[in-house]
Every structure is written in C-alpha cells, then in structure tokens.
C-alpha cells in the first residue's frame, strides 16, 4: 500500500502544519464568503448608510462641535466609521463559528490529523481579510464624501493597521460568544447589545465632551474609543491627538496594548471553550 508515501510528511515541523491547517481553513471560509457575495454587499451597505447619515444628516449639527477642535466633521467621522465598520464585521466570527458547530463538517475535521485550533485561527484570519476588503471600500467611500488625509500615507496606513488589529482582537472576543451560543442566530443577537454601547458611547461619531459627565469616563476609556482615537490621530494629525488630550504616539501605544491584551486573554479562553464544546 502506498500509505507511507501518502501520510504525514515527516520533514515538516509541527509549526508548519499548524500554519498550513489554519490557512487551509482560512481559504475554506473565504470561499464560503465569495460564494455568497450578497453577504459582503449587505455588510457594506449598512456602513455606507451610516456615512451618509452622519455626514449629511447629523453632520451639520455635530460639525460645529468638531470645528471647535479644529477638525471638519467628515475628517472626524471617517476614522470612527472605519472602526465601527470592522467592529460590526467582527461579529461574523462568532456567527460563523456557531454555524460551523451546528454542521457535521466539524466532526469530520476532528477525525482528521489536523490541528484542532485551526478551526478558530482559520475563522479569525478569514474575517480579518474580509474586514480588510470592507475597509478598503469604506476608504473609497470616505474619499468620495470629502474625507482627506491630514498626515501622510504612511501614518494613514498605520491607522488602518490599528483598525485591523482591533478588528482581529474583537474577532476573538466574538469567537468566545459564538462558542457559548447554542446557534448562529443567538450568536448574532447576543453580539448586538454588547456592540451598541461600545460603538455609540464612544468617540467614534461625536466628541466625548458633549456627553453627560457620568458617561464620559466610560466613553473615553473603553477600547473602541481608544482604537478610534489612535486611528484618528494617525489619519488626521496632531489636532486629533490633542482633541483626545494626548499625543499620537501615546494613543497608538495605548491602542496596541489594549488589542494585544485582549488577544492574550481571548485566544486561550476561546481555544479552551472550543476544546470543551466539541
């Protein structure tokens, strides 16, 4: 039997196969997304509507507040929109995982010599790539409605990098919720009440100073605001950092620490729950 030549390649290390398995699952999930293009279309329509709503409906009223800080409202808004968009996009990680767990294919995966955690890694990486696509679309939309970079391309890209890092950290958080949920519908419903205060009681759409004092503490320090403040400073320049009462460097560092911290907590927790669940 040709078994020896076929099975496990002894020249490859464990790390090689961990990575290869994660990428194989990533590819599977991306193909799944591509095969239902409606999902990408609809997940882009919603943030575009948010851009139009805030830019043209509320923008006039809020703009007088941001101009006090030295920023036009569209420049203030867009970094917030980027973060909000990827935060909503990260919910998909939990929904997708919950959906996978309901399917028989997970059982097949577990009877294979693949790395089990590749199911989680492949899911979060696929969602990161999906978020990247969505953010590129949102950048284009931003430019169309008048958003302009206040720094340089390098810093702007660093801002996008912060958004994606934050998206990846959130993906692992929603992975945890997806694993705890009995089905994908529940995962979706569970995510919303968590996401809502995070996105709206934040510096994403309006300056925190305009909020009542009891809300300001939370709104200033919660992770989504931290990510928005960093991205906004990197995209709009020191004016935005000053508005957040800090420097671009410090804001960026704080955002990175938050994201890495979230990942350090969420990854082992998710892997652990996944092992128990299956």
Partner 1 sequence: MTVAIEVRNLRKTFKGGVTALDDVSFQVETGTVFGLLGPNGAGKTTIVRILTTIIAPDTGVATIMGVDVTKSPQQVREHLGLAGQAAAVDERLTGEENLFMIGRLNHLPKQVSRDRTAELLHDFGLDYASKRVLSTYSGGMRRRLDLAAALVARPPVLFLDEPTTGLDPKSRNDLWEIIEKLLIDGTTVLLTTQYLEEADRLASRIAVVDHGLVIAEGTPDELKANFGATVLELSFKDEQVASKAKTAVVALAAAAVQQIEDRLEIPVADGAATTALVLERLLDEKINPTRINLREPSLDDVFLALTDQPAATEG
Give the binding range for partner 1 (CB under 8 A) out of 3-11, 62-70, 194-202, 237-245.
Answer: 3-11
Q: Which residues contact 8 (CB under 8 A, 6 or more apart)?
A: 113
Helix (H, G, I), strand (E, B) or coil at 210: helix
Residues 34-50 as b or e (16 or more Cβ within 10 Å = b): eeeeeebeebbeebbeb
Q: Which residues contact 60 (CB under 8 A, 6 or more apart)?
A: none
DSSP 82-110: HHHHHHHHHHHHHHHHHHHHTSTHHHHHH
Least gap, CB of 2 to partner 1 (angstroms): 7
Exactly one of 15, 41, 113, 276 binds partner 1 (CB under 8 A); that residue is: 113
Calpha distance 207→220 (Å, rounded)? 10
Calpha distance 51→135 (Å, rounded)? 13
Nearest Cα residue to 167 out of 137, 141, 135, 201: 135
Q: Which residues contact 259 (CB under 8 A, 6 or more apart)?
A: 162, 165, 166, 168, 169, 223, 227
Exactly one of 15, 41, 111, 153 binds partner 1 (CB under 8 A); that residue is: 111
CB nearer to partner 1: pick between 100 and 236: 100
Residues 78-97 that bind partner 1 (CB under 8 A): none
Least gap, CB of 47 to partner 1 (angstroms): 24
CB nearer to partner 1: pick between 3 and 15: 3
Residues 182-201 that bind partner 1 (CB under 8 A): none
275 in contact with partner 1 (CB under 8 A):
no
Residues 8-27 that bind partner 1 (CB under 8 A): 8-9, 12, 17, 20-21, 24-25, 27
Exactly one of 37, 104, 154, 212 binds partner 1 (CB under 8 A); that residue is: 104
Least gap, CB of 33 to partner 1 (angstroms): 9
103 in contact with partner 1 (CB under 8 A):
yes
Calpha distance 160→48 (Å, rounded)? 17
The contact pattern for partner 1, residues 115-154, with x = CB under 8 A and - = no contact, is ---x------------------------------------
CB nearer to partner 1: pick between 104 and 193: 104
Calpha distance 253→234 (Å, rounded)? 12
Least gap, CB of 278 to partner 1 (angstroms): 8
110 in contact with partner 1 (CB under 8 A):
yes
Calpha distance 208→215 (Å, rounded)? 9
Give the binding range for partner 1 (CB under 8 A) out of 101-109, 179-187, 193-201, 269-277.
Answer: 101-109
Least gap, CB of 122 to partner 1 (angstroms): 10
């Amino acid at each position: 039997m040709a078994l020896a030549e076929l099975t496990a390649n002894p020249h490859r290390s464990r790390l090689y196969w961990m990575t290869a398995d994660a990428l194989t699952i990533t590819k599977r999930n991306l193909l799944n997304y591509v095969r239902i293009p409606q999902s990408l279309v609809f997940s882009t329509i919603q943030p575009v509507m948010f851009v139009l709503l805030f830019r043209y409906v509320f923008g006039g009223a809020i703009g007088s507040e941001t101009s006090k800080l030295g920023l036009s409202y569209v420049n203030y808004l867009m970094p917030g929109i980027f973060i909000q968009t990827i935060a909503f996009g990260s919910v998909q990680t939990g929904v997708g995982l919950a959906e996978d767990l309901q399917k028989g294919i997970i059982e097949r995966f577990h009877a294979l010599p693949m790395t089990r955690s590749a199911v989680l890694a492949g899911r979060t990486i696929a969602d990161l790539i999906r978020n990247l696509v969505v953010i590129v679309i949102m950048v284009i939309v931003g430019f169309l409605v008048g958003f302009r970079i206040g720094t340089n391309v390098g810093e702007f890209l660093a801002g996008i990098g912060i958004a994606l890092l934050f998206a990846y950290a959130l993906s692992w958080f929603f992975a945890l919720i997806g694993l705890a949920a009995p089905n994908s519908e529940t995962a979706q419903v569970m995510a919303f009440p968590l996401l809502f205060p995070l996105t709206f009681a934040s510096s994403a759409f309006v300056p925190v100073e305009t909020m009542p004092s009891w809300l300001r503490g939370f709104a200033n320090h919660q992770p989504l605001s931290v990510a928005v403040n960093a991205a906004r400073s990197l995209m709009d320049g020191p004016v935005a950092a000053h508005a957040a009462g800090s420097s671009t460097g410090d804001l960026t560092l704080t955002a990175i620490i938050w994201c890495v911290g979230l990942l350090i907590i969420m990854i082992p927790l998710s892997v652990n729950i996944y092992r128990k669940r299956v």
